[in-house]
Structure 1
Amino acid sequence: MSQRSILSFFGGGDELKRKAEGNSESCISAKNKKYDECKRKRTFIDGWKDQFPWVAYNDTAKVMKCTICSKYPNIHACNRKRTFIDGCSNFRIEYLKSHDTSDAHLECMSYERDAQRRSTASGSCDVTTPLSGPTCSTDNVSPIVKALQNSDKQTMQKLEKLFITAFHVAYRGKPLSDFEFNLDLLDCVGVDIGSKYRNIAGAREFIKAIACSLQKEFIPELKKARFVTILSDGSTDSAILEQETVFMRYVSHGQPVSFHAGTVPLEHCHADEVLDGIRKAVESVDICFDDLLSTTEASGPSLVSVNFDGAAVMLGSKGGVAAKICKQAKHVVPVHCVAHKLELAVLDAVKHLPSLSNFEDVLKQVFKFYHYSPKMRRELKTVSDIFNTDLANLSDVKQVRWLASKIRAVRALKISFHSILNHFESVAAGRSDQSAKCQGWLRKMKTVSFVKTMCILLDILPILTEVSLVFQKEDLLIIEVPSAIEGLVMKLLNCKIDPVGAGESMEYFSKMYNHEKSSFDGVKLNGVCPPVIFKDDTFLISLVDGIITYLDKRFSCFKQKPLKHFSVFDFTEWPTQREPLSVYGSTDLSELMEHFSFLHICKLVELMLVVSPGTSICERMFSSMNLVKTHHRTALHQKTLCHTLTIMTHGSKKLADFDPRPAIMEWLHNTPGSRHILSLAKEAKPEPVPMLGPCSSKCVD
């Protein structure tokens, strides 16, 4: 047996194998060491500057950089390589060729050519623009450079058309799929917009850029403001998600401005969750919520008031959102929305009037009768034409929140009163399923009480509606509320004291009602028809007195500290005599200065402008949200919803007034991802061309 076999038998083969591998590794290491000693060290070659005019070599750092890309570092998005901006130490020509044909470099070249073209047009050798550094003029430009300059202009024009289309889709609350359809329409009429970003993803990016550019118009002013009021309200969207919308009111150039901070989805509707949602919305616009609660101006604007609806979760005295905020900042003034206060005061007043409840029940039943039956609407139209009577549109009567909706329903009933009665008589005479209903409604509508109530409401509701619309104004001031309520009370008392002279409908009833013949405007009335004297009418007196009583109760906070002290800024309340005027308001000013802890009257004036009395802008936001997030778009992204609502709130009302350029710059600089702007001008990438040299009398082609 050989020695190898014996060693293998006793386990010695592994040792020989390890010795052989060690000898092999030592040989490879020696070869690598010899190669490292003999290999050529790569350095920068000056001849590369002729082939690539944009390259520059830093002898100190031993790196090469791109002079063009270094001027526009923001153009390079986060997912692009920044090798030739930070410095490349790998001196290989392949790296230069790769950078020369990259999208990022070609995009920077596009901006550089545009800057040079502007410099040439102005005849200046030192022009600085937001997208460019110093440029120089040139007299001799090659045809291919001119072609690329024209392509930049065409690219911007196409981007403007794309952004205007996206703005139109968002401002009108249309689905994002309409963006593609509108672009196809532009193609059909011969408008060239290229082939890139013509999809829903592109529309979403454009809408985001437009919303961000609109926000950036408000945020600098908001951060410079002294005081801020937070307006917030909640609603449920079509996806059964609780949405909390937040506005911030501040003063800009002497005028109050309401800025949409955000719309935040809530998991729960308790006070802590709502407060956390408000905090998220405020901090989304780069403002610290805790700094708002501070009274020091160094930390930015201070929160002086919060304006919510009357829900217990918002204005509860112990555990509400306003109470939690006031615990951290005692100077904050909670305000209940005055438009909601007015509605609640009217609802409280009519609870104890059964005749008004009966009138409203009949009104709803009649409107539903026509709303859900096209056949009945056709018959009503036919009867109206036969008898030559007026007819108004009778829509569905739902639970309304504003008085303006109620007056429209009563007016429609008054206009169509004769047509409805004639149609009910026609249906009641037949043997259909609706005959009994129409007979019952006829008995109720042909009574003195029903007709009298209708005429009284036609005179009372317009007075309430006028004030309700005033309270829904966005720029309403806190000092305007007491005078508006006082004017409302005076008009109501006028209707009570002199109803025939103050109300047109009550005057019309007095002329057309004949208690002896039991008729009103040619309509034979049922039951007892006593004489009606509105001045002594129990229903009118109870209605007016009830409304005034609950108005005083609901708006009593404007007669308490600190809101009552703001009346010092209402010049209509100032005395006309010299002596009373000389001391007028000193106590009110002292109380306000003590409450808000500062001693400057100019600050008090600004603070008075900031305090918001109503949240109607939040209600309008929910109306916009219902247009955007319908039952067919329940999966709409939350960010897309917020961006769309911002555009609908702060966007230009006329399409011709919308400037897409700030949004385009926002999209190019601050949105992550690649930007194929060159492909909008040409589907193929342009050939690389030599860049213009430094400022001199001659330029290189």
Structure 2
Amino acid sequence: MSAVLPKRKSVQTSLFDYLPSAKRCKVEEAATILSGDEEASPVNSRSEAPEICQDSCAKEASSSSASPATLQPVPEEPLLTPDCWSVQQWCYFKGEYEWIFLASGHIGCSVCRDVKATGGLSVHSCGQSLRISMEWADGKVGPSGFGKHARQKQLRKKIMEHKSSGAHKASQDILTARKNKHLTEVMQQSSGKHLDSTCRVFHTVFYLTKKNRPFTDHPDLVDLQEVNGVEMGRVLRSNVTATEIVRHIASEMQKKLVCYIREHKPKISVFVDESTTVSNKSTLIIYLQGLFRAHCKPVTIFFGLVDLQETNALAIKEALLGYFENVGITKTLLHEIWIAICSDGAAVMFGSKGGVITLLRPEFPNLVLSWHCLAHHLELAVGDTIDEVGGANHLKMFMDSLYATCSMSPKNTRQLQMAASDLGLQLQKIGKMLDTQWVASSYRMVQAVWNCFPALYKHFREAAKDLSRPTRDRSKYDGLLKKLTSNSFVKDLGLMCDALQELKDLSLALQSRDITIVDAHSLLVGQVWRFFAMKESPGEFSSTAQSAVDCGHFKGVHISQGRENSVSLNERQFYQSLSVNLAKRCAPDLDKELVSSFSVLDAKNLPNDEDIVLYGENEIQRLCTKFQLPIRDTIHAFRDFKDFGGKRCPEAFRALVACMETLPASNADCERGFSAMNLIASPSRAFLHVATISSCSWLKLNGPPVKAFKPLSFVKSWLEKGRRTAEETHCEQAHAKKDSLEDFYVGFWEIVN
């Protein structure tokens, strides 16, 4: 009785231990496999099974490797073979033709794929130009016909025809030549002059990117350097070439970073945010924060910009994981190193039922923290206070009227500047208060009104009496003047200056790149108590405003009682609301346990000798479980840390501290990235491809200064891909475009030169 094959899943899981040669299958068994009779060729032992290709089972092999015990199991992905092949048949053909790879139930040619990836769509053989088969390069070749045996026959025929095709043979020759011809040989054939001129071109393109200059400046900069006597070569002068160089440099930098991550496996936090470019393309920006060099502080780096076809949670999640997979960071690696994700708190990110974080949780249960940016939390807390306290909305509406009157009219702005210069004041720009911008912008606005109070009074008084203005405008200015010189406005202005100054300092601290969640939590708790205390003890601006109300003059301007029905801010209610909303928004109870556990890592919190023996060991064990670190080694390192009074930091303990410092406090770097993106993809460059914008952002945000940039390694990798040097002679030399005015002004230029 013939043996019955196990289910496909069981066969799949046993393929990782197969011996590395498909030639060991017997001739009779191979014939049986080719005939498709699965029952006649049972898998009796693992030693008799052929090798499965590395391309098809890379994910399965990596998921089966040794991993920490705290890791959650990674779900296995099925091995999708063509519908007319069994797994044994696929293994047989993979052993016979090593260049075959699987792609979603189809097959392809890895040789043609690799040649296509280097930019070559055609190859040359015996003086003929042969085009690479896109179906084989993209892995889209499948069986045809009806019936299992007919489909098997057609697929074998396609394999044999492709094997003997000229394009496939030429592609194999290209890859063999590249493997045998090392870079040193290429460098020997290329003179130092070629490398030097190519490096100068790369340096020029790098400068364009760092300074947000358009790539159309590249030909002119090359010409300028040649005028100054610098040798720049014959080619690599077009704006298209500059774009390719930028993408090449950014790609190589990212590859180096990914190699470091795969080798050292540092713990990382991911920052994500969604926005729209000037060309109305939805994009997802990705930042990483981690310790990318031993004995240094964690840094935050721009990692990529992804084009979003849809902006729902599922599409964003798939785009994020797909981008990591494309650059070489697999899901298995993410399970080991990904400890936190931070976003701006949008519903699509943090929705409890279908947000991105909610969708990621089942796949990555080891995520320690899903963090809503504290700087955005702060803005929401201020917004809640403005909604609760009645007088704040009246002050905001008056400030908006000031902005519309003084900043949006060139005539009024000019007259206000004249009034300020007459009084010896430096006019500050008056903007909007408590809008979608950060509270720091609101503080600058109220501070401008505070400092320019005399100039505003003079401008409003003259405009209210200016008979050349319409009656409606004069009445408007008269109303603004009465509101400006009222006691309630001066007191509210002082109160808002004190509150926004505190909020501005806190917001800027939370946006700092080196702040940890422990420090951020400490700042927030301290600010809550500070606002609570300011109910009884007013700040500097409020004290000055109260003194002005008592004496009836503020900065030389007479102020009056104002209207009886005017609404002013209740100082005690305002600060009470701020402290409550700040505590509710920015210091939730769910995060206090994590923050209290981290407090034992600070040497300042170590107790006296009597209580130090078992101090913090439960917290260390809890943190090691969360971050997948060796518990006993870390506890022993922590004991050394305690014994030396915090002056000694063993390696295992430093790894835990690095995890704490890697957890994000705010999402401000994504906002900085979008600001840089808006400078790169300006309205005049609105049609830049998202990949090009991402490459420019890589160099702009992560690249070294222009003086410190070393282009030689990038030039070498450029030449390895078969690209031209600046001194290439097998192509037409680039010619400078003729100035359209040259024919008319050549005589005039001779005179003025």
Partner of 2:349: 314
- Residue from 182, 193, 199 that aligns with 1:160: 199
- Which whole-Å CA distance do the structure 2 matches of 1:261 and 1:383 have between them? 49
Equivalent residues of 1:167, 1:207 under 8 A apart: yes
Deviation at 1:446, TM superposition (A): 1.4
1:118-140 Cα deviation digits (max 9, x unpaired): xxxxxxxxxxx9634999xxxxx
- Which whole-Å CA distance do the structure 2 matches of 1:490 and 1:82 have between them? 79
What SS does the aligned partner of 2:298 have? Answer: strand
Partner of 1:201: 240
Q: TM-score, normalised by structure 2?
A: 0.66
Equivalent residues of 1:306, 1:335 under 8 A apart: yes
Partner of 2:384: 348
- Residue from 553, 556, 566 that aligns with 1:519: 553
- Which whole-Å CA distance do the structure 1 matches of 2:198 and 2:520 have between them? 47
In the alignment, does 2:599 pair up with 1:568?
Answer: yes
Equivalent residues of 1:482, 1:558 under 8 A apart: no
Q: Do the aligned partners of residues 666 and 394 (structure 1) sit closer, same or farther apart at CA in structure 2, a change above 3 Å counting?
A: farther
What SS does the aligned partner of 1:579 have? Answer: coil
Partner of 1:622: 674
Task: Kindly provide the amino acid, as one letter, of the partner of residue 442 in structure 1.
Answer: L
- Residue from 305, 322, 328 that aligns with 1:263: 305
- Residue from 724, 729, 736 that aligns with 1:675: 724
- Which whole-Å CA distance do the structure 2 matches of 1:633 and 1:657 have between them? 27
- Residue from 384, 387, 399 that aligns with 2:420: 384
Deviation at 1:521, TM superposition (A): 2.9
1:457-508 Cα deviation digits (max 9, x unpaired): 2222222112211211223222222211122224334433322xxx332232
In the alignment, does 2:596 pair up with 1:555?
Answer: no
What SS does the aligned partner of 2:570 have? Answer: helix
1:42-71 Cα deviation digits (max 9, x unpaired): xxxxxxxxxxxxxxxxxxxxxxxxxxxxxx
Equivalent residues of 2:271, 2:288 under 8 A apart: yes
Partner of 1:364: 400
- Residue from 290, 307, 313 that aligns with 1:250: 290
1:178-214 Cα deviation digits (max 9, x unpaired): 2223223323433331331211111111111221232
Deviation at 1:423, TM superposition (A): 0.6
Equivalent residues of 1:159, 1:664 under 8 A apart: yes
Equivalent residues of 1:379, 1:423 under 8 A apart: yes
Deviation at 1:677, TM superposition (A): 3.9
Q: Point out the more displaced range, 630-639 or 186-195.
A: 186-195
Partner of 1:578: 609
Deviation at 1:640, TM superposition (A): 0.7
- Residue from 451, 459, 473 that aligns with 2:498: 459
Q: Do the aligned partners of residues 650 and 362 (structure 1) sit closer, same or farther apart at CA in structure 2, a change above 3 Å counting?
A: same
- Which whole-Å CA distance do the structure 2 matches of 1:277 and 1:682 have between them? 40
Partner of 1:131: 184
Equivalent residues of 1:204, 1:640 under 8 A apart: yes
Q: Do the aligned partners of residues 395 and 478 (structure 1) sit closer, same or farther apart at CA in structure 2, a change above 3 Å counting?
A: closer
Equivalent residues of 1:262, 1:284 under 8 A apart: no
In the alignment, does 2:240 pair up with 1:240?
Answer: no
In the alignment, does 2:701 pair up with 1:657?
Answer: no
Partner of 2:326: 284
Partner of 1:326: 361
Deviation at 1:331, TM superposition (A): 2.6
Equivalent residues of 1:477, 1:608 under 8 A apart: yes
Q: Do the aligned partners of residues 159 and 185 (structure 1) sit closer, same or farther apart at CA in structure 2, a change above 3 Å counting?
A: same
1:243-264 Cα deviation digits (max 9, x unpaired): 1111222223142133333111
Q: Do the aligned partners of residues 160 and 523 (structure 1) sit closer, same or farther apart at CA in structure 2, a change above 3 Å counting?
A: same
Deviation at 1:371, TM superposition (A): 2.4
Deviation at 1:569, TM superposition (A): 4.1
Equivalent residues of 2:205, 2:246 under 8 A apart: yes
What SS does the aligned partner of 1:514 have? Answer: helix
1:648-688 Cα deviation digits (max 9, x unpaired): 11011x32111111221232223xx641443379989xxxx
- Which whole-Å CA distance do the structure 2 matches of 1:362 and 1:656 have between them? 50
- Which whole-Å CA distance do the structure 2 matches of 1:513 and 1:381 have between them? 27
Q: Do the aligned partners of residues 592 and 183 (structure 1) sit closer, same or farther apart at CA in structure 2, a change above 3 Å counting?
A: same
Equivalent residues of 2:416, 2:459 under 8 A apart: yes
- Which whole-Å CA distance do the structure 1 matches of 2:217 and 2:605 have between them? 57
- Which whole-Å CA distance do the structure 2 matches of 1:583 and 1:561 have between them? 21
- Which whole-Å CA distance do the structure 2 matches of 1:490 and 1:398 have between them? 23
- Which whole-Å CA distance do the structure 1 matches of 2:430 and 2:223 have between them? 40
Q: Point out the more displaced range, 586-595 or 167-176.
A: 586-595
In the alignment, does 2:555 pair up with 1:539?
Answer: no
Equivalent residues of 1:194, 1:680 under 8 A apart: no
Partner of 2:466: 430
Equivalent residues of 1:574, 1:584 under 8 A apart: no
Structure 1's unaligned 5+ residue stretches are: 1-72, 85-103, 113-128, 136-147, 295-300, 531-536, 685-701
- Which whole-Å CA distance do the structure 2 matches of 1:454 and 1:277 have between them? 47
- Which whole-Å CA distance do the structure 2 matches of 1:284 and 1:389 have between them? 57
- Which whole-Å CA distance do the structure 1 matches of 2:615 and 2:343 have between them? 32
What SS does the aligned partner of 1:474 have? Answer: coil
Partner of 2:111: none
Q: Do the aligned partners of residues 286 and 181 (structure 1) sit closer, same or farther apart at CA in structure 2, a change above 3 Å counting?
A: same
What SS does the aligned partner of 1:258 have? Answer: strand
Q: Do the aligned partners of residues 677 and 449 (structure 1) sit closer, same or farther apart at CA in structure 2, a change above 3 Å counting?
A: same
- Which whole-Å CA distance do the structure 1 matches of 2:375 and 2:672 have between them? 13
- Which whole-Å CA distance do the structure 2 matches of 1:553 and 1:635 have between them? 44
- Which whole-Å CA distance do the structure 2 matches of 1:329 and 1:605 have between them? 22
- Residue from 647, 663, 675 that aligns with 1:611: 663
In the alignment, does 2:209 pair up with 1:170?
Answer: yes
Structure 2's unaligned 5+ residue stretches are: 1-114, 128-173, 635-651, 734-753
- Which whole-Å CA distance do the structure 1 matches of 2:408 and 2:562 have between them? 34
Q: Do the aligned partners of residues 461 and 329 (structure 1) sit closer, same or farther apart at CA in structure 2, a change above 3 Å counting?
A: same
What SS does the aligned partner of 2:400 have? Answer: helix
Deviation at 1:156, TM superposition (A): 2.2
What SS does the aligned partner of 1:203 have? Answer: helix
- Which whole-Å CA distance do the structure 2 matches of 1:366 and 1:236 have between them? 31
Equivalent residues of 1:400, 1:406 under 8 A apart: no
Equivalent residues of 1:229, 1:611 under 8 A apart: yes
Task: Kindly provide the amino acid, as one letter, of the partner of residue 438 in structure 2.
Answer: W
Equivalent residues of 1:392, 1:412 under 8 A apart: yes
- Which whole-Å CA distance do the structure 1 matches of 2:562 and 2:406 have between them? 30
- Which whole-Å CA distance do the structure 1 matches of 2:729 and 2:406 have between them? 55
In the alignment, does 2:525 pair up with 1:486?
Answer: yes
Equivalent residues of 2:276, 2:282 under 8 A apart: yes
1:620-663 Cα deviation digits (max 9, x unpaired): 110011111122222111211110011111011x3211111122
Which structure would you say has the larger Rg? 1
- Which whole-Å CA distance do the structure 2 matches of 1:597 and 1:682 have between them? 56
**% of aligned pairs identical?**
24
- Which whole-Å CA distance do the structure 1 matches of 2:516 and 2:126 have between them? 57
What SS does the aligned partner of 1:359 have? Answer: helix
Task: Kindly provide the amino acid, as one letter, of the partner of residue 669 in structure 1.
Answer: E
Looking at both structures, which has the greater relative contact order when contacts are Cα pairs under 8 Å and sequence separation is at least 6?
A: 1
Task: Kindly provide the amino acid, as one letter, of the partner of residue 384 in structure 1.
Answer: A
Partner of 1:228: 268
Q: Give the alignment's Cα RMSD to 1 decimal.
A: 3.3
